[in-house]
Chain A
Amino acid sequence: MRLRYLVPAVVLIGLIVLFAAGLKHDPREVPSPLIGKPAPAFALKLLGKPDQPYTSADLKGRPVLVNFFASWCVACRVEHPFLMQLASQGVEIIGMDYKDTDADGAAWLADHGNPYRTVVADPQGSAGLDWGVYGAPETFVLNAQGIIVYKQIGPMDEQVWRDHVAPLMAAKP
């Protein structure tokens, strides 16, 4: 008999735990099917240098961060100071100027500072589409073999870097 009164309480507690876990889960962060797969191929040009090609093969050989940004992207401005800090620590970040014009992208970098070792122009967002980008900024972590090992959707900060990205970047090839 006493067990019967316990059942609703247990169900209620179960639901509270379930909903609490659900609240912490950000529905905007869609898990990428590309984790553990080679970075999708692209052949683009460097920002402002249409005669200099840059392809996905150039990403191999060392762990790198690939950061999709744009001059029209408001959240990229939030993330920007942290990328500057990473660059000053010697982290190699490849910038992908996503659905942007070369002039706007270059002006934005001139205004705010350039944290990227290399800036690739993706004016049509074609690489962005192949990489499953749906909202800048998005940052991919590639290992030395060019495999995507982590994806950060939205601005990266100190905590994300410390907890998820730094250990992957330090991994020996």
Chain B
Amino acid sequence: MRRLLLAVALFIGSLSIAAAQVDDDALLPLAPLPAAQQARYEGLIHQLRCLVCQNETIADSQAPLAADLRKQVHDQIAAGRSDAQIKRYLTDRYGDFVLYKPPFKAKTWLLWGGPFLVLLVALAVALRFARSRRAMAPATNVDADALQRLLDAERGVDRGDDPPKGSA
């Protein structure tokens, strides 16, 4: 019982901590940008990953860090920096992981090329499979006469005839 109480107390405590964090300058509404800049802002924040909750963009995330990064993107756009400069600013600090679309380079070739490699392997396997099936096909032609003989024999049995000699 005491454990349960402790767990409940900790849970409520953690809520208050989260609430305290949310009560932050960075969450104040950002000053509106001119339409073109606002569009760039919206575009950028949907391409950047929040490092705290790694499966969310900074546009979707509620984490204080995401709010900080949104503010950075907002302020840098307002200061006239280009999208490439802003991305560079973030990757200098957080690495390529912050980009949802990582650049193609030595470290990421497997990431980009991997699906095509798998496709090549699958094609090679499929080709081999198709070839081996084609290689089997002539064998059935050769046996066609023998098959016909067996079928004839079977019909003969159905009609109650004596099986032809030497067919067994």
Q: B6-38 CB contact bits vs A (8 Å, 1 = yes)?
A: 000000001001001100110000000000000
Q: Determine how close the nearest CB of chain A comes to the CB of B7; give it in whole angstroms.
A: 14
Which one of A27, A34, A40 lies within 8 Å of B54 (CB-CB)?
A: A27
Q: Which residues of B contact A134 (CB under 8 A)?
A: 51-52, 65, 94
Number of interface residues of A (CB under 8 A): 19
Query: B93: which A residues are within 8 A, CB to CB?
Result: 33-34, 40, 129-132
Check if B91 is an interface residue, CB within 8 A of chain A.
Answer: yes
**Chain B, interface residues (CB within 8 Å), range:** 10 to 19
Q: B95 near A: Cβ within 8 Å?
A: yes
Q: Identify which of residues 62-77 in chain B touch chain A, using a CB-to-CB cut-off of 8 Å.
A: 64-65, 68, 72
A residues contacting B by CB (< 8 A) are 27-28, 30-34, 40, 72, 74, 99, 124-125, 129-132, 134-135
Return the chain B residue nearest A28 by Cβ.
Answer: B54
Tell me, in angstroms, the Cα distance from A40 to B65 when the chains sit together. 18
Bound complex: CA A33 to CA B94 (Å): 7
Contacts A72-B17, A72-B20 given: A30-B94 contact, CB under 8 Å? yes
Given contacts A99-B64, A129-B68, contact A33 B24 (CB under 8 A): no
B97 interface hit (Cβ, 8 Å): yes
A-B contact list, 5 entries, CB within 8 Å: A72-B17, A129-B68, A132-B94, A135-B51, A135-B52
- Asked if B158 is at the interface of the complex by the 8 Å CB criterion, the answer is no
Q: Which residues of A contact B21 (CB under 8 A)?
A: 72, 99
Minimal beta-carbon separation of B85 from chain A (angstroms): 16
